[in-house]
Amino acid sequence: MPGFELFGNAERKEVNDVLDNGVLMRYGFDGMRNGHWKSKELEATLQQTLKSKHVQLVSSGTAAVTVALAVAGVGAGDEVIIPAFTFVASFEAILALGAIPVLVDIDDTLTLDPKAVEKAITSKTKAVMVVQMCGSMGDMDALQKICNKHSLLLIEDACQAIGGTYKGKPLGSIGDLGCFSFDFVKTITCGEGGAVITNNEAYYINADHYSDHGHDHIGNDRGAETHPFLGYNFRISELHAAVGLAQVKRLPDFLAIQKRNYTILREALSAIPEVTFRTVPDGGEESYAFLNFFLPSLEIAQKVSKGFKEQGVDGCFHYFDNNWHYIRKWDHLKELKSLYPISEEIKKNLENLTTKDFSQSDHFIGRNLSCLIKLSWTEDEVKQRAEKMVSVIKQSNI
């Protein structure tokens, strides 16, 4: 990742189709399209790629999470369990619906710890959202078992994990609903875009309507369509879908490149006894978009992170001190810095974020470095990168 590294004639061809007919909107203007329906084509291709009955394209990964929660009935006062290590969009989407994000610890998969999930369930819990950060998954069987036991929704945020699988199933297709992002730095990019996938027809119909102002999309006259319920504008454009259509057809090639580059780096780091790697559950295969490894301590991880930067090893993230991805630096959430009034119920339920113990998550995130795997690297460049990484780690007094 990211897919923009390998933009070429395929993307230009799909975009030019849209520019030639001039219809940038995914709905309506049938007579002007000359048969080009890029959003519909991308949805159909994603159905096959992700082995899902239904796909609804939306404007972003954040929109995908918001729509997925909304169409399954998550709203005011409902609690949604999410990991302490995620992207800010996770809690943004929940708060936007008037629901309450409940943050819990991760384990060595870097995703939800099933034991922490079980402890966090209350009478108000409506959904568990597993966020498959950096291309891999949690213990999906355990999480599914918990959700079944308590009659909870299992939402998969697979925004960073397209191409990953669990027991032969694409990530995103295992839970009740799956969410994907196709923003500019994802393995498959539309520039901006996202998708909601599901095998539940009712959820799909809701997503189709909800993401387009509640339009029912019945008939050929958009102005005559009815609105069965309230909706909002989370539409993708044909230009964005055109880029994604070209990219998704190249996904197998992208994944093969990622796996090659990942494997070279991992094999080099495996020679250092003190380096361990994130746990991938039995039956799982990550997307190889990131190489995640643990060092013996927070101090060594900080030292290695600094050394990587000094040696030009870019794209390696130490999320412990990151403002976007870990609870430790989310002061705007802890202090509820909102432009509009927040309900008293949400305020009360988030009061403990400033004092809650996330030491288990600190133990994993503090020692973890997450290295982006680029598509544009040559094999020689990856080997040179591996040598630098090994050298920096060995010089850290590990």
Residues 75-125 pLDDT 10s: 999 999 999 999 999 999 999 999 999 999 999 999 999 999 999 999 999
Summarised one tens digit per residue, pLDDT across range 279-297 is: 999 999 999 999 999 999 9
CB atoms within 10 A of CB 81: 29
CA distance 335 to 347: 9
Residue 147 CB-density burial (10 A; 0-12 exposed, 13-18 middle, 19+ buried): buried
Phi, psi dihedrals of residue 366, rounded to the nearest 5°: -60, -35
Average pLDDT estimate for 307-313:
97
If phi > 0 it is left, if psi is from -120 to 50 it is alpha, else beta; for residue 202 that is alpha
pLDDT of the residue at 397:
83
**How far apart are alpha carbons 366 and 318 in whole angstroms?**
7
- pLDDT at residue 398, as a whole number: 78
- Residue 121: what residue type? I
8 A C-beta contact, residue 369 and residue 305: yes
Q: What is the pTM of this model?
A: 0.97
Distance separating alpha carbons of residues 329 and 294, to the nearest angstrom? 20
* Structure tokens, 127: 């959904």
Mean pLDDT (whole number) for 23-29: 96
| List of residues 6+ apart from 296 with CB closer than 8 A | 274, 367, 398
Strand partners, 166: 169, 284
Whether residue 337 is predicted with pLDDT greater than 90 in this model: the reply is: yes
The neighbour count for residue 96, using CB atoms within 10 Å, is: 15
Q: In order of start, what are the domains of the chain with their CATH numbers?
A: 3-250 (3.40.640.10), 252-394 (3.90.1150.10)
The confidence score (pLDDT) of residue 82 equals 98
Confidence of residue 71 (pLDDT cuts 50, 70, 90): very high
